[in-house]
Structure formats: structure tokens, C-alpha cells
Amino acid sequence: MKYNISYIQELIIDHVGGTISDDDNDFLQRAIAEDADVKQLWNEMQYTLTSGRGKDFLGNLDENKAWKKIELKIDAQPPISKFKGFSKWLPIAAILCMAITTVYYLQPKPIANPIVIAVKKTLKPVIELKLANGQHINLSDTSKQIINTSFAHLKKGTKGLSYELNDNKTEEWSTLVIPPQLTYQIALSDGTQVWLNSASSMRFPFSFSGKTRDVYLTGEAFFKVAKNAAKPFIVHTNQTDVQVLGTEFNVNTYKSNTTITSLVEGSVSTNGHNNQKLLLHPGYQAIYAPENGFLTQSFDPGIELAWMHNIYYFHNTKLNDISEVLLRWFDIKVVFDDPAKADEAFSGAIQKNKPIDVFIQNIKTSAGVKATFKDGVLHIK
């Protein structure tokens, strides 16, 4: 297996900083054991970051200056047409964000109405596979790696869920549900790989027996579709249908009136209401809203798809919109005691693996925002 060195660097910094998750730590230790280059990188970075100079560096970084350097790199880079490898600046930005936590840059905007965002759940989030017969399978349960059903053998591994069909190969439609805070990956029967973001779900058949390969998405997912010219792959959302033969693309439906399809490789045809159609080319995204139809623009995969590496970049984004990310990634209740704050705009980055306290502290010190977090409620005023 070939490991992404930039991602390994992030995990090593998290490990040294004591913030790495159990799953990421397992992945890191396996990479160290299997790859000599990773092991060498581990030894070098661990020595450097745990030395006196390294500790001083991590402890004395000027957060605002560091983020400004990252922001300049973001603004200076042109759009990139491929996801693989991200932007050239991304590994640097990700590592710096790891070391300096998260920083924010404030730009005032007009006053908005009071906003209250969802209620925090107290139960531990669970990834579920809901079968057509009503059975619910807890995919977060680590005690079972193999699950046998009447139509397939399910296997849970480090790369998510995969399965082998029984001889009957019936469709057996099921729904994969990803709660807030978590992400998940699944390999479908045709070889297509799907990465689902937090607060998302996908309804799919275990076997594609018809003339098309159809799945139904809510939330956000990245698709790497196995090529099959005779059987198109179609992603259905509430507003659009995205049809491909074999390609890589991202679909975001988080906003109720907007669907964003971002094409990394190949080509896709997307249909909206009233038979509106658009052929999309790599490096471009189609933004669809029923009242406006399709709008196309270029995008940077390093920013658009950073969620797959547990990073969310935002530029001149309203705090209200950022709060929706906090809801999906941290599953907290957000209340704007000062309605004007909801419409103020920020630039910066959030890392899912960092505690919510990091966001609160930085938004208070860097942007002059008053915020308190108690009993699962974040008040911003």
C-alpha cells in the first residue's frame, strides 16, 4: 500500500500533540510497521518535535501571523483540476493548522436574524446500515468484523464497509446512515468507492441488476465510480440526477435549495428540474438551485475536498454557515445571542480532530467574539 506522506505528517503531529484519535493512531502505527519510508519519517519528526527547540516552536507560534501566511498561499494558487495530491500548499497548511490549532480572521458584515442551530445529542454517534427487512446493523461496533446476511457477507475494515454477494445476487436495497461527527467509506458491488461526509446517507442496492446503477444521496459524498459504459451510474438527489460512466466527483446537498457537483476526473451529465441539463468538465463544479438553474465555476479540489482529510477551509464565510459545519462535525447546539454575529464573515480553517474548545478560544482571541460553551450549548454574542 502506498501511503500519502502529507497525511502521515499530519497524523504524526497529532500523535506528538496528544490529539490523535484511536482509529488514526491505529492507521499510523500500521503505516510505520509496513513502510520503511514512513518509519524513517516517524523517527525524524518525533525526534524533531519532541526536542527542546521543537517544543518551543509549537508553544510560541504567533497564530494570527501563521494563518496569514497560509491564507496568502491559498490566494496565490490557481485552481487545480485533479484531487490526487491536493494543492501544493495544502500539506503545509494542514501541518501548520495542526501545530497552531485553528485561527480565524474577521471581516464584519450586515446584521442577520437570530439563529438557533439544532440540539446536541447525548448518545455516542453510531454508523448504521438499515436493511430492507427492517434490520439495523451497527457498523460502529468493533466487536464484529464479519456480518453474514441472507444475501451478502459484510466485512468491516480500516477502509470502511465492503461485501461479497451470495449466489442469488438480489438487489436488496439498504440505506447507509452517517451521523454528525463521523465519516465513512463503502465499496459497492461494481467496485465503485464512496466516501460519505458527516450527517449524510446513501440508499443503494447490494447488486446492480438493472440497466443503470442507481444510488440516492443526502448530505455529501465523494464518488470514485468503476467504469462500465453499458451501465451508467446515477446519483439521485432531491434536486438533481448526476449520470456518469466512470469518473471521480463530489456531490454536496447540505443546503436545502442548492446542489453542488464538483468534477475531478472524467465527465458527468447532471439534470435539474424542468429537464435542465449540463455536461460538466474536470476542474469545474455545477451549482444548481431551482430558481436559478445551473451555474458553473472552477474550483480547487484541495479546498473543496479537504473534508476527506477532516479539514474544512472557509474564506469570507458567514459565521452562520460555519456554525452549520460545527453542527455536522461536533454535533453541538449553537445560539447567536447577538444576531449581528451570525452574518459576520471569517476566513480560516477548522479541523475535525481538534476539540470544540479550540474553535471557541480562537474565535474569542482572534476575532473579538464573545463565546461560551456549557452543557452542550455554544453561545455567541
Render pLDDT for 256-279 as a digit per residue (tens, 0 to 9): 889 999 999 999 999 988 788 999
Q: For 194-251, how does the pLDDT look when each residue is reduced to its tens digit (9 = 90+)?
A: 999 999 999 999 999 889 999 999 999 999 999 999 999 999 999 999 999 889 999 9
Domain that holds residue 344: 107-120+309-380
| Cell numbers placing 278 | 449540463
Residues 112 and 87 in one domain: no
Residue 79 pLDDT exceeds 80: no
Q: Quote the pLDDT of residue 206.
A: 93
Per-residue confidence (pLDDT) for residue 69, from 0 to 100: 46
Q: Are residues 296 and 331 in the same domain?
A: no
Residues 16 and 35 in one domain: yes
Give me the pLDDT at residue 50, please: 66
Alpha helix ranges (H) inside 331-379: 356-367
- Mean pLDDT for 55-64 is 49
Helix axes 356-367, 63-76, angle to 10 degrees: 90
Please give the Cα distance from 235 to 243 (Å, whole number).
Answer: 7
113 within 8 A of 28, measured Cβ to Cβ: no
CATH number, domain at 281? Answer: 2.60.120.1440
Boundary-marking domain end, from 105, 137, 161: 105
pLDDT band at residue 10 under the 50/70/90 scheme:
confident
Residue 298 has pLDDT above 90, yes or no: yes
Distance CA 116, CA 118 (A): 7
Question: Are residues 142 and 101 part of one domain?
Answer: no
pTM of the model: 0.69
Reply yes or no on whether the pLDDT at 19 is more than 80: no
Task: Give the residue-averaged pLDDT of 165-190.
Answer: 90
222 and 347 part of one domain: no
Report whether pLDDT(113) > 70.
no
Q: What is the mean pLDDT of residues 34-54?
A: 75
The pLDDT confidence band at residue 55, using thresholds 50, 70 and 90, is: low
Are residues 111 and 96 both part of a single domain?
A: no
User: What's residue 196's pLDDT?
Assistant: 98
CA-to-CA distance for 331 and 322, rounded, in angstroms?
A: 13
Which of 283, 303, 323 finishes a domain? 303
Residue 59 confidence (pLDDT): 52
The pLDDT value given to residue 95: 37
Do 297 and 149 share a structural domain? yes
Q: Dump pLDDT digits (tens) for 358-381.
A: 878 877 776 778 888 888 789 998
Residues 287 and 145 placed together within one structural domain of the fold: yes
Residue 51 confidence (pLDDT): 63
Give percent of the chain with pLDDT exceeding 90: 42
- What CATH number is attached to the domain comprising 370? 3.55.50.30
Same domain, yes or no: 145 and 292:
yes
Q: What torsion, rounded to 10 degrees, do the Cα atoms 76, 78, 80, 85 define?
A: -20
Cα separation, 298 vs 76, whole angstroms:
15
Quote the pLDDT of residue 332: 87
User: Do 167 and 231 lie in a common domain?
Assistant: yes
Q: Are residues 264 and 191 in the same domain?
A: yes
Are residues 140 and 267 both part of a single domain? Answer: yes
What total number of domains does the chain contain? 3
Domain boundary among 105, 140, 161: 105
What pLDDT was estimated at residue 75?
47
The better pLDDT of the pair 219, 24 is held by 219
* pLDDT confidence of residue 198: 96
Does 72 score more than 70 pLDDT? Answer: no
pLDDT at residue 167 is higher than 50: yes
Q: Rounded distance, CA 326 to CA 330, Å? A: 5
